[in-house]
C-alpha cells in the first residue's frame, strides 16, 4: 500500500488488564480499525503458545475484532513460510505475546516473517507487544539482568532486537521488578540511545512522528544518557557498582508523552490544548 505513513507501535510493559477495563487492549483494538480489524497473535516467545493464543483470541473477539489468527512459529524454517507471510500482511495488527524475547529474535530475526513485520509497520499497520513482545521491538534489547539491585557495570546481557524502533532500549515490568538499575547500566553502555522502562498494565503508544503517549495505570520512565559526563562502566572490575553522573530521567504517567526525535517531554495539557495531533483513542 504505497503512500501510507509509518504505523503505530503499542509497547506494553506486561501484565496488562485482560479481565476488567482492558484499557490498553481496547486501544490496540481501536487503533487497528475497531470492529473491522483482523489481528495476528504471535506466540513465539512463550512456552504455552496455545493457551496464549486462546486467551488473546477470546479477548480481541470480545472487543469486536472481525478475525483473530494465532501464529505459532517455533522454528526458523516456519518463519519463511509464504502462507504465514501472506496471512500477517493481510492483518491490521500483529500482536506479540510475552515470554522470552530471545526466542523472538533468534527464531524470527532476519527471516521473511521479520521483513513482513517491518513492511507492515511501514505500511501503516499496528504492531503491539507485551513484556518480551515489548523488549524485542528495540534495536538493542535487554536479555537478562538482576532485578531490585543497585546498578553494577556488568549485571546484564544485551542482544540485537527486531529493530522496530531505533535509538532505544526497552525494559518491561519496570517498577514492579525494580529494574531501574539494569536500565541505567544499559544506557551507561549505550549513552547515545534512550532507555524506556515501561510498567505493568502500561503502554507507550508510538506514532509515525516518533512521539509517544502513555496509557495505563503505571508510568513510563525515560532515561536519557546523552549528557552523561562520567561513568566507570568501561573500567576494570566489572562487578563494581556503577558510577554515573548527569543522566537525565523523566517519569510519565497516562496522558503525558515524549518526543523521541527532540528528546523532550510532552505534558498533558499540551495534548488537551491541541498542540499535538490527537491519538485515535482520544477521538470520540
pLDDT tens readout for residues 114-147: 999 999 999 999 999 999 999 999 989 998 777 7
Instruction: Let me know if 173 is a catalytic residue.
Output: yes
Residue 69 in domain? yes
Is 105 among the domain residues?
Answer: yes
250 assigned to active site: no
Query: What was the pLDDT predicted at 33?
Result: 96
DSSP letter at 183? Answer: H
DSSP letters for 245-263: ES-EEEEE-TT-EEETTTT
Q: Is 58 a catalytic residue?
A: no
In a domain, 84, yes or no: yes
pLDDT attached to residue 277: 41
3 lies in some domain = no
Position 233 scores a pLDDT of 87
pTM score = 0.93
Per-residue pLDDT reduced to its tens digit, 224-263:
999 999 999 888 677 788 899 999 999 999 999 999 999 9
- The β-bridge relationship of strands 126-130 and 8-12 is parallel
pLDDT at 284: 39
User: Three-state DSSP class for 104?
Assistant: helix
pLDDT at residue 239, rounded to an integer: 77
pLDDT over 70 percentage in the chain: 89
Residue 59 has pLDDT above 60, yes or no: yes
Convert the pLDDT of each residue in 185-216 to its tens digit.
999 999 999 999 999 999 999 999 999 999 99
Q: Give the sheet arrangement for strand 93-96, strand by strand.
A: 67-71, 38-42, 93-96, 126-130, 8-12, 202-206, 211-216, 257-259, 264-266
Query: For residue 100, is it within any domain?
Result: yes
Helices (H), ranges, the chain: 23-31, 49-63, 82-89, 101-108, 112-122, 132-135, 180-189, 268-272
Active site residue: 65, 120, 131, 135, which one? 131
Residue 15 pLDDT > 90: yes
84: domain CATH number? 3.40.50.880
- The count of structural domains within the chain is 1
Asked if residue 283 belongs to a domain, the reply is: no
Report the distance separating Cα 140 and Cα 161, nearest Å. Answer: 5
Residue 279 lies in a domain: no
Q: What is the pLDDT of residue 256?
A: 96
Amino acid at each position: 500500500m504505497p503512500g501510507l505513513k509509518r504505523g503505530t507501535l503499542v509497547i506494553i510493559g506486561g501484565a496488562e488488564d485482560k479481565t476488567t477495563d482492558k484499557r490498553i487492549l481496547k486501544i490496540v483494538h481501536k487503533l487497528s480499525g475497531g470492529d473491522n480489524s483482523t489481528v495476528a497473535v504471535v506466540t513465539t516467545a512463550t512456552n504455552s503458545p496455545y493457551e496464549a493464543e486462546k486467551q488473546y483470541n477470546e479477548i480481541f473477539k470480545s472487543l469486536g475484532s472481525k478475525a483473530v489468527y494465532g501464529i505459532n512459529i517455533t522454528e526458523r524454517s516456519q518463519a519463511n513460510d509464504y502462507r504465514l507471510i501472506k496471512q500477517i500482511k493481510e492483518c491490521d495488527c500483529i500482536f506479540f505475546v510475552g515470554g522470552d524475547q530471545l526466542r523472538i529474535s533468534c527464531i524470527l530475526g532476519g527471516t521473511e516473517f521479520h521483513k513482513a513485520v517491518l513492511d507492515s509497520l511501514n505500511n501503516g499497520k499496528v504492531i503491539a507487544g507485551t513484556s518480551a513482545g515489548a523488549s524485542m521491538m528495540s534495536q538493542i534489547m535487554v536479555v537478562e539482568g538482576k532485578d531490585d539491585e543497585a546498578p553494577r557495570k556488568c549485571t546484564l546481557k544485551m542482544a540485537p532486537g527486531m529493530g522496530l524502533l531505533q535509538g532505544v532500549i526497552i525494559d518491561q515490568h519496570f517498577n514492579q521488578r525494580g529494574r531501574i538499575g539494569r536500565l541505567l547500566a544499559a544506557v551507561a553502555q549505550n549513552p547515545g540511545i534512550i532507555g524506556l522502562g515501561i510498567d505493568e498494565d502500561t503502554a507507550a503508544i508510538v506514532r509515525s512522528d516518533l512521539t509517544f503517549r502513555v496509557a495505563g495505570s503505571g508510568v513510563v520512565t525515560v532515561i536519557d544518557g546523552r549528557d552523561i559526563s562520567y561513568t566507570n562502566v568501561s573500567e576494570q572490575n566489572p562487578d563494581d557498582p556503577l558510577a554515573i553522573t548527569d543522566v537525565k530521567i523523566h517519569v510519565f504517567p497516562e496522558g503525558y508523552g515524549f518526543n523521541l526525535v527532540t528528546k523532550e517531554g510532552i505534558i498533558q495539557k499540551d495534548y488537551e490544548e491541541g498542540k499535538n495531533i490527537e491519538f485515535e483513542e482520544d477521538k470520540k
